[in-house]
Structure formats: structure tokens, C-alpha cells
Chain A
Amino acid sequence: MPIQPLLDAATAAANLADIRPPFSPQEARVEANRCLFCYDAPCIKACPTGIDIPTFIRKITTDNLTGAARTILEANVLGASCARVCPTQVLCEGACVMLDLEKQPIQIGRLQRHATDHVAARGIDVLQPPGPKNGHSVAVLGAGPAGLGCAAELARLGYAVTVYDKKPAGGGLNTYGIAYYKMRPEVSLDEVRMIERLGVTFRYGVDVRRDLTAADLQRDHHAVFVGIGLGGANRLGIPGEDLPEVVDALEFIEWIHTRPLADVPVGRRVAVLGCGNTAIDAVTQAKRLGAEEATIVYRRGAAEMSAYAFEYELAKTDGAAFLFDAAPVEVLAQDGHVAALRLAKTASHDGRVAIVPGSEWTIPCDLVLKAVGQEKQAGLLTRLFPGLNLDARGRVEHDPATMQTSLPAVFVGGDAASGGREVVNAVAEGTKAARGIHALLAGDSVRGPVQPSRLGMPDGATGSGFDQPIRVHELEAALKRG
């Protein structure tokens, strides 16, 4: 049976409603007043874009919401989407000193949303419009978070910036690939429009494989930023993989973002392969769209999953099932449609996972979502930029301070550089790359906005997590290990 939509529009909308709804003004003021306004605050060090969090929260307490939004957006142009999609539990909120004092961190993400919503709802542009153009032109490949971070920073520095993207709209995964209950695509599209107002030109429907050559880019631009992210889902390499109901999890999420909710097809029994954060997004949204059963199949144990603990908890609360130490061996069909998934137990030897012979069994299933990682775009990158160095894992080699690649006029950021991290990391890398490009073309070094909460720090007012973010959960894991 082909899959079809299972819920009416109202039920689907209710199920996929905002998981962290906006604060009322009174809630925001009370929460903001809990903030101690720390000096050299740990939350700033845990933010990859180094937002001066205590300062923007203090501005909320004084009812200076526009100023609060300016503090946020000057450091992170995608502050509105990061307020919704950041794993704040392991970033700013995980570092909050109030965790030690009251076991409840300041709800930084929701406060950030409160401030950015204020200006978005009123059409207030808080970022300074760019001054006169400096005569340099930069191509940005990819309108995702990294490309947007780079484009906005370059525009503010006076560059003519053209962003190329193959999709019909900008925002990348922020527009097409975030769990719907975390963020609506409109938030991301609003951010793209804000960056357009900074003077950035967007060229949509441009496939870098097909429509652009290195010669075109060199002729038209003084530097190129590569923010093309990752490719499609990795191949499973098992029989039945090409059946119509074996779908890339990100494609499934894109359906939710590009179709009316009542038109999004979903299986009654859904298997999600993989156990990263995308797998969690897929399994929870499948459940919320009416799947009777939605099961994560992961070839390792619970302790090894790459999904955050709070995402795992969310999926369990939503009624998802988890099959650990199991791997798919075949997708079975009936009348050309997925009907079942054949699984085998796995065992780990010296860190390598292998199927246990004779352990196979079959579960009924009508939709298989692949969340086993995305392909690197190595072939595309080396074709487009001969001489570009990639590492053994297919990531573009770069100087972490400037994001410059082995080709002097080519810079990189986001998942193409990191292999896959958070939206906020991508914005930070894009911003860094813009400053790297500025250093190359204008010979000028740019520092971030002065942070009142770090005035007089030895590394200057602009240090913070932008230079070297701490990862709270990694620190905690290291502490536990001793």
C-alpha cells in the first residue's frame, strides 16, 4: 500500500504545535529578572556565535527589546532561528550558573525568541544598513545557515554578495529540515528577507553541479564561500532500498515544510534507521502525523547514540519505540510497496559492529526513513574546485580561524567543513569566513561587536564562544570520566 496522510489538518496542526511556545511579556520579564547579569558569563563562552547573553537579557528587563534584538543579531544574524533550534541544554543554558544555584537555568532560548520576535513582528531592522560598497564581490554557494551567516557579515562590511542555491527559497535546513514543532519555515524565510534588505542578492534554482563553473565564479567574484552542506542520505546497500517508501528522513521533513500538513503522507508503521538528532526529528514527527508505530532501529546501543539525551526523552514521550543493537538487512515489498523490514541483531567487536548470523527477524513496516548520515559532496567539490584539499572523511580542509581552504580565494563553513554540526556552528563559521575574506581582500581585521559583559577581559571584549566555544555536555562527560 502506498502511504497516505493520516490526520486532518486541525489534528496535525495541534500535534505539531510549538514545543516551546513564546513567552508572554510578563513571563519574559520574570524570567529575565532571574538572570544574574553575570560578568564574563559562561553562557557566552558556550555560544558558538558568542552572543552577549547577559546584556540582551538585561535589555529585556529594562523593556529595551529592540536593543536586546540588536545585541543578539549583531553577533548571530540567525538569532531568531537559533532561539528555536539550538540545543540550548548543551550550549548556553547548559553553562548557566543558575543550574548550580537553583537547578533551573535561565531559559535563554525562549528569551532570545522573545526579543527577536519583537522586531520581526514589527518589521524593525536592527542591523545597520551597509555603508558604500567596497568594490569587491563574493559568491556564496548555499543559502543555508553558513551561507547566510557569511553573506550577512560580508554585506555589512560593504561587499557585493550573490548567494546561489538550488532550492526555490533560502534558509537551507532552517527552511526545509527542522522539526516542525521547533520552528516554522516562515521564521527562516523572514531571516532571509532581512538579509536581502542588507543588500545581498539571492539566485535560486541554481545547481552548482550544472549551472556554475569555476571559471564563472572566478570571472564574476573576488572570492567564493562554500556553504553547500552535505548531500543526500548515505546508501544502505541492502535489497529493497530503492522502493518508493524508503525515504531520506530529511526529505520526509521537507514534505512537512512544503505541503499542507493534511497532505503529508506517513506510514502507519514507520521504521527510522539511525539514532542521531535527525532520526529523532523524523520519528517524533511521524508519530505526531498519526503513525501508529514508529521505531528507531540503531545498530549500536543506547549509550552510543549521537542524539542528545533530551531528544531521546522527547521521542520516548511521543511513544517512539527503540530497537538497539539491530541492523536492517532487507526491505521487503508487497505489490511494489514496502511491507516489512528484515532486521538482524548486531554485536560489537573492537568497536566494529557486525551482524550476528542467524539472528534475523522481520517487523511489519510501510515507511522506512533513512537517517544514517548524509553523503559528503567530495566529487562535486573537487570537480568545481580542482586542487581543493579534503580530509580523509571528505570534509573541506580549512584554517579554523579564517575558514580559508587550500585555495586562497575559497572559504568554507557549515557542514561542508565540519561534516555536520548545529545551525549555530554553521552561522558562526560563515561569519568567521566573512571576516577571513575581508582580511584577504581588504587586508583589514574585523572584531565582533563590543560585548559589555566582557569589557576589560584579557582576550578583549569580543572573545567568548565565537573563538572557541565550550561544549557543555562534552565537558561534563570528561569530568565524569575523571
Chain B
Amino acid sequence: MADLSIDFAGIRSPNPFWVASGPPSNTAHQAHRAFEAGWGGVVWKTIGEPIVNVASRYSALNLGGMRMVGFNNIELISDRAPETNFDEIAAVKKRWPRHAVIASLMVDTRERWHDFVKRSADCGADGIELNFGCPHGMCERGMGSAVGQNPEVAETIVGWVMEAATIPVIVKLTPNITNVVYAARAAKRAGADAISLINTINSITNVNLDTLVPEPTVAGRSSHGGYCGPAVKPIALNMVHACAADPQVGLPISGIGGIGTWRDAAEFVALGSTSLQVCTAIMHYGFRIVEDMKDGLSAYLDSKGMRSLADLRGKAVPQVGDWQQLDLHSRRVARIDYEKCIGCNLCHIACEDGAHQCIDLVDAAPYGLGPGRVPGKPVPKVREDDCVGCNLCSLVCPVDGCITMTPVDTGRAAMTWHDYQSRLAAGTMQPIPPHP
């Protein structure tokens, strides 16, 4: 069995799976349950001066039969007294000394930051996470994403924290920003030990078409909330990669955003994450989901001959870069397996109306009949010479493995956009003619 333990900027935990700061990490009761279920760490729900919450607080994007594909909240930071939270962290650490407990903090003045940072270390927390990302409510008071969106302010506040910090400091970044790398570099400049990302994304999930008030509704009004859940994973992966690939950042990364399964976890690790934080999936199913996350991740590492997470970490980072580094000569075409085709013709209409008009509907006779096909019904047929290899048909096809995007050897050496421009400038090649 592969070793799942991690050392994240000096914070050790038996596995990379941490409960993210949020409703599931609000109390010692929940932390105990999380560790009993097998989680490696808990990032406490953000501690600050107590706030007042509203009802209701959550809303969801459902898609087809799937609930909570996306999730939105307008809940603020902990509404419990700081001393209650610090006392409970101390109690949790006493019972779970080898697990990671991280205090998430959000306050305003330099003095308060110093006070809360010291109290975090005093209660036995293994680290501190600075909540610079909360996109609702707190930002209106100059905290949360209001800090994270301004790298200079963030750098100043991280500086205050580092003046008092004796345990590792993680800066949690907001995705509600033009380029997350600037915020990550600010954290690095100010001396932070690590970054975590992404926090939630500004959102309105839906509008109630009877009341014309979006959810979650509070006495006939609503507010934009923080969006998370499976739907945000692609955004999070991109930002994690951006920070992992940036040589000026160079900090350990705690990946957050739509992680619910071991596969999600493996992807975040491959793009450079060391620890992984989960919230929405726990809010949906409970702490028990971690069992499959550990089991599946471990089995995956074993199947690839990897002995620990370090063997996977960042291994996908070098393969992602700027568009201009891609090979303009590489070619692939769609091929349809007529043994699998069920004759829905979605590939045809997607290509015809939505892409590049290279899948015809033709007489079935020469191609044989796919399963379930009505005799004489036309079959989709790719004109490979015209196929631009865009993937769309294979994405809409409902049958696993029916349309395969097949590489075609063009016999031409790789040429990037950069190469192309250089050759044009040197006069060693003619411009590629425009697509007809």
C-alpha cells in the first residue's frame, strides 16, 4: 500500500485529506467525527470576532438528476466565541495528536491579528490558515476577499501575521481575481509558508421565477454567495496549476475546489497539491466519503508503481503551458465504432450546427448496422479529410468508447506558433493558407 502521509510546510498528517474550513469544521464534535472517519486534518471554521448569520444560507445548482453539482453559501465565518473555538481546538489536538488541526483566522487590525495568531499557537494548532477569500459579507467589512483581491494589502497583513507566527502560515487565496498568481506571489514575498486555493467563487445559482428572488432567500432579498462543489473543480485545477508552475511562488499548495472522490484528489496532486481540502462533498454525504478517497488513491498509486504521493505530486505540471507551445502540425480525427454506435446522431448534429460540418449522415448499407439500429436509418460518417479534430462529437456521444479521437501521422515535424512565427520572419516557410 502506497504511503499517503504528507508533510505540508512542516504540518504532518497521516493522509492528505483535510476537512476544509467551513460548516463541517465548526465544532470539536465534528472534528472528532472527521478523525474517526479517517480524515487526516481539519481546517477549523474561520475564527474571528463573532458574527451574526442569516436564514437561509445555502443554495444549489442541480443538473438533471444530480443534486448539488454546484453549491453556494452566504454563511459567514464562525458565529461562536473565539475562546470556545480555541478551547475546542486544544481538546481535539489532545485526543488526536498525530492529526493536523489548522486554525483559520480572519480579523482586521494588526493587534487583533497578533492576538489571534498567538492564541492559535497557544491552543496547540499545527498551523494557521488566513482566510483572504470569503467573497460575501466579510469583504464588505474590509476582510476576506477584499484582502485577497489586493495583493499589496494581502502582503501587508501576511507581514503582520508573520511577526507573531510560531507555527506554519497558509494563505488561502480567492479565485475572484484577475490573476491568482499575483496574490500567491504576495503571500510568498510576505514570508507565508504555504498557500491554499481556491476559496469560493462569487455566484448567483438561480432565480426563483415565482418570487423573482434568487436563492438563498432572506426575507424576500438575496445576496451573491460563494460557489463551490464539483462544478468549480476545473477552475480550481487551473489556478492550482498556475501557482504550481510559477517559479516566483514556490510554496506548498493545499488544493481546494470540488474535490469529492479519489480521482479528483489525484488530479489536484498531479497538478502540484500536497494537501487536499474538502467541504461540499462532506456537506452532501458526511465524513464517511474519505474511506473511498484513501482506498482509491492508494490503489491508484499502487497500480502506477508509485510508493508515495511525492511520486505523483506535480507530475502533470510540465505538460501544461501556454497555447503558443502547442504543436500546430499535430492532427487527430474522429473515428466511429459502428459496433457500438446506437444511432442517436448527436455527433452529426453537433458537428453540423455546432462545429465544423464534417460528419455526414449516409446510407447505412456499406457500414453494417450498429446495435439497436433501425434498418435503413442513415449512419453518421466522418469525412476525415475535413475533420479538424476538435473532440466535440466524442464529447456529446453517449456511448463509452464509441467515438475515438485517433492521432494521424502527418509526417511533419512538430511546429509551435513560436516556431511558425520565426520561420515566417526568416522567410523559410510560406503562411499556412486560411481554412476554406
* Chain A residues engaging chain B, CB cutoff 8 angstroms: 25-26, 33-34, 37, 39, 55, 58-59, 61-64, 66-67, 70, 452-453, 455-456
Contacts and interface: CB of A to CB of B under 8 A. Distances in A.
A25 B296 contact: no
Contacts of B33: 455-456
B36 A64 contact: no
Contact of A67 (B65, B66, B295): B295
B36 A455 contact: yes
10 contacts: A55-B291, A58-B292, A61-B261, A62-B292, A63-B263, A452-B37, A452-B289, A452-B291, A453-B288, A455-B286
Given A55-B288, A55-B291, A62-B263, A26 B296 contact: no
Contact of A455 (B66, B287, B292, B295): B287
B96 to A, nearest CB: 16
B292 to A, nearest CB: 5
A58 B289 contact: yes
Nearest to B292: A59
Contact of B285 (A37, A59, A64, A67): A37
Given A25-B400, A26-B399, A67-B295, A62 B287 contact: no
Contacts of B2: none
Contact of B292 (A25, A33, A55, A456): A55
Contacts of A66: 299
B262 interface: yes
A124 to B, nearest CB: 10
Contacts of A33: 66
Nearest to B295: A67
B293 to A, nearest CB: 8
A26 B295 CA distance: 22
A64 B289 contact: no
Contact of A64 (B286, B299, B399): B299
Interface in B274-298: 285-289, 291-292, 295-296
Contacts, number: 50
Contacts of A453: 288
A63 B400 CA distance: 14
A452 B286 CA distance: 10
A39 B285 CA distance: 8
B310 to A, nearest CB: 22
A26 B400 contact: yes
B206 to A, nearest CB: 22
Contacts of B399: 26
Given A62-B261, A67-B296, 13 more contacts: A25-B400, A26-B399, A39-B286, A39-B288, A59-B292, A61-B261, A62-B292, A64-B296, A452-B37, A452-B291, A453-B288, A456-B33, A456-B36
Q: Which 7 A-B pairs have the closest CB atoms?
A: A452-B288, A64-B296, A452-B291, A67-B295, A62-B261, A26-B400, A59-B292
In this complex, the member of B288, B295, B296 whose beta carbon has the largest number of chain A beta carbons within 10 angstroms is B288
A62 B295 CA distance: 11
A60 to B, nearest CB: 10
Nearest to A68: B292
Nearest to B285: A37
In this complex, the member of B33, B286, B292, B299 whose beta carbon has the largest number of chain A beta carbons within 10 angstroms is B292
A62 B291 contact: no
Nearest to B290: A452
B284 to A, nearest CB: 8
A40 to B, nearest CB: 10
A62 B262 CA distance: 7
A455 B261 contact: no
A453 B288 CA distance: 7
Contacts of A64: 262, 292, 295-296, 299
A186 to B, nearest CB: 27
B288 A67 contact: no
Contacts of B288: 39, 55, 452-453, 455
Contacts of A63: 263, 296
Nearest to B398: A26
A39 B289 CA distance: 11
Interface in B20-72: 33, 36-37, 65-66
A201 B97 CA distance: 44
Contacts of A58: 289, 292
A70 B296 CA distance: 12
Nearest to B298: A67
Interface in B292-344: 292, 295-296, 299
Contacts of A61: 261
Interface string B251-265: 000000000011100
Interface in B115-129: none
Nearest to A59: B292
A263 B286 CA distance: 56
A238 to B, nearest CB: 53
Given A37-B285, A67-B292, A455 B299 contact: no
Contacts of B289: 58, 452
Contacts of A34: 65
Contacts of A70: 295
A67 B299 contact: yes
Contacts of B65: 34
Contacts of A26: 399-400
A59 B65 CA distance: 19
B139 to A, nearest CB: 34
B43 to A, nearest CB: 21
In this complex, the member of B262, B263, B295, B400 whose beta carbon has the largest number of chain A beta carbons within 10 angstroms is B295
A127 B262 CA distance: 21
Contacts of B285: 37, 39
A62 B287 CA distance: 16
A17 B286 CA distance: 42
A367 B296 CA distance: 54
B431 to A, nearest CB: 45
B40 to A, nearest CB: 16
A39 B37 CA distance: 13
Nearest to A24: B400
Interface string B328-363: 000000000000000000000000000000000000
Contacts of A455: 33, 36-37, 286-288
Nearest to A38: B285
A62 B292 CA distance: 8
Contacts of A25: 400
Nearest to B37: A455
A279 B317 CA distance: 64
A456 B36 CA distance: 9
Contact of A59 (B66, B286, B295): B295
A41 B254 CA distance: 33
A338 to B, nearest CB: 46
A455 B36 CA distance: 8
Contacts of B262: 62, 64
A127 B162 CA distance: 49
B305 to A, nearest CB: 16
Contacts of B291: 55, 452
